[in-house]
Amino acid sequence: MKELIKLVDRKLDEYIEVCYPEDIFNAMKYTLMLPGKRLRPVMCIETARLLGCDINKVLPSACAIEMLHVQSLIHDDLPCMDNDDFRRGKPSNHKVFGEANAVLAGDALLTFAPQLIIEKSTDLSSEQIVRILHEYTKFAGAYGLIAGQVVDIESEKGNFGMTPQETLGFIHLNKTAVLFKLAVRVGAIAAGASDKTIEEFDLFATKFGLAFQIYDDIMDEISTFEEMGKTMGKDKASGKLTYVSLFGLKEAKDKFNKLIQECYGIIGKYNSHIFNEILGKLQSRIAE
C-alpha cells in the first residue's frame, strides 16, 4: 500500500507542471500534494491489477480521480459550503490562497483531470477512454457528487425531500460512495472487464463508500485533529444529519461492521492484500 501511495504521489506531482500564471498551479498543487490517504487512486489501480491490467495503463485515470476528489475537498471547505479552516492537517486552500483562487483551483483540477486522461492514457483504446470520461463526467456532476452536496447543504437547513433516513442514504451514496464507485469502475474498464465484473466491483465500492462515510461520521465524534487533519466535533456541534446523529454510536458501529463484512464477502475471492489492508485498517480503528 505504501509503495502504491508513493507512486501516486510521484505521478500527481509530475502530471501538473507549474507554469504561468503560477498562482493557480500552486493553489492546485497545495491541497493535492498534502498527505491524503489516496484511497481512491489506490483502489482504482488495485482493481485494474486484480483484473489483469498493467497498472501503468491506469495511472493517469487513477490520478485524475484523486484530482476530482481534491477539487471536492477544496470546494467543500469554502465558507459558502462547510466552512472548514483545515484540511489534511494544514490550513484549507482558501485560507492560504484566498476564496477566488480556491474556487478557481478546484475548477482547474476538475477540468485538468479529463485532459490528463485524454493526453496520457496512450495505452488505452479510444473506446476505453470515452467510457472512462463518461463515468467521470456522470459521477462528478449533478447525477453524482454535486447532487450529494446539494442535498447535504439543504438537509443542514432542515429541508428534506424524503425521510431523514432516505436523505442520509442519498447523501452518503452520492457524496462519498460515488468516487469509490468511479475508482473501481475505471480500473475495471481499463482492464477490459465484463459488465458483470464491473457491477461486482461497483457493489463492493458502494458498500465500502457507505461504510467509509459512517467511519468518517464516527471519527468526527471520537477522533482528534492530529489523527484526521481537520476540525473534529463539527457535525455534532452543528446538528448535522449523520449516521451517528440519526442512529447513535452503537448502531453506527454495527452498520459499519456489517458493511465491511459484506465488502469481504464480495472481494474476498480476489485475495487482494491491498483491499484487505484498507478494510482491516478501518475495522481496527472502529474496534478500538
List interacting residues with ligand GRG (CB under 6 A).
36-37, 39, 72-73, 75-76, 81, 88, 110, 140, 145-146, 149, 175-176, 213, 216
Task: Tell me the C-alpha to C-alpha distance, in Å, between residue 211 and each of 10, 23, 42, 107, 184.
Answer: 29, 37, 17, 28, 16
State in angstroms the smallest separation of the CB of 125 from ligand GRG. Answer: 27
State in angstroms the smallest separation of the CB of 102 from ligand GRG. Answer: 11
State in angstroms the smallest separation of the CB of 83 from ligand GRG. Answer: 12
Coil, helix or strand for 191? coil
Q: How far apart are CA 65 and CA 71, in angstroms?
A: 10
For ligand GRG, the closer of residues 216 and 235 by Cβ is 216
Q: Is 171 exposed, middle or buried (0-12, 13-18, 19+ CB in 10 A)?
A: buried
Block residue for cell numbers 460512495 = 177
For helices 59-76 and 2-15, give the axis angle rounded to 10 degrees: 80
101, 18, 117: which is closest to 67 by C-alpha?
Answer: 117
State in angstroms the smallest separation of the CB of 87 from ligand GRG. Answer: 7
For ligand GRG, the closer of residues 140 and 191 by Cβ is 140
State in angstroms the smallest separation of the CB of 246 from ligand GRG. Answer: 17
For ligand GRG, the closer of residues 120 and 138 by Cβ is 138
270, 175, 184: which is closest to 217 by C-alpha?
Answer: 175
Q: What is the distance, to the nearest Å, from the Cα of residue 200 to the centroid of all Cα atoms in its chain?
A: 19
State in angstroms the smallest separation of the CB of 213 from ligand GRG. Answer: 6
Q: How far apart are CA 125 and CA 131, in angstroms?
A: 10
Q: What is the distance, to the nearest Å, from the Cα of residue 62 to the centroid of all Cα atoms in its chain?
A: 11
For ligand GRG, the closer of residues 11 and 88 by Cβ is 88
Q: Which residue is nearest to ligand GRG (CB)?
A: 36
For ligand GRG, the closer of residues 176 and 191 by Cβ is 176
> At 150, which helix (H) or strand (E)?
helix 145-156
For ligand GRG, the closer of residues 153 and 203 by Cβ is 153
Q: Write phi, then psi, for 94 (nearest 5 degrees).
A: -70, -20
Block residue for cell numbers 475495522 = 283
State in angstroms the smallest separation of the CB of 81 from ligand GRG. Answer: 6
Q: What is the DSSP letter of 174?
A: I
For ligand GRG, the closer of residues 72 and 121 by Cβ is 72
For ligand GRG, the closer of residues 82 and 193 by Cβ is 82
State in angstroms the smallest separation of the CB of 71 from ligand GRG. Answer: 6
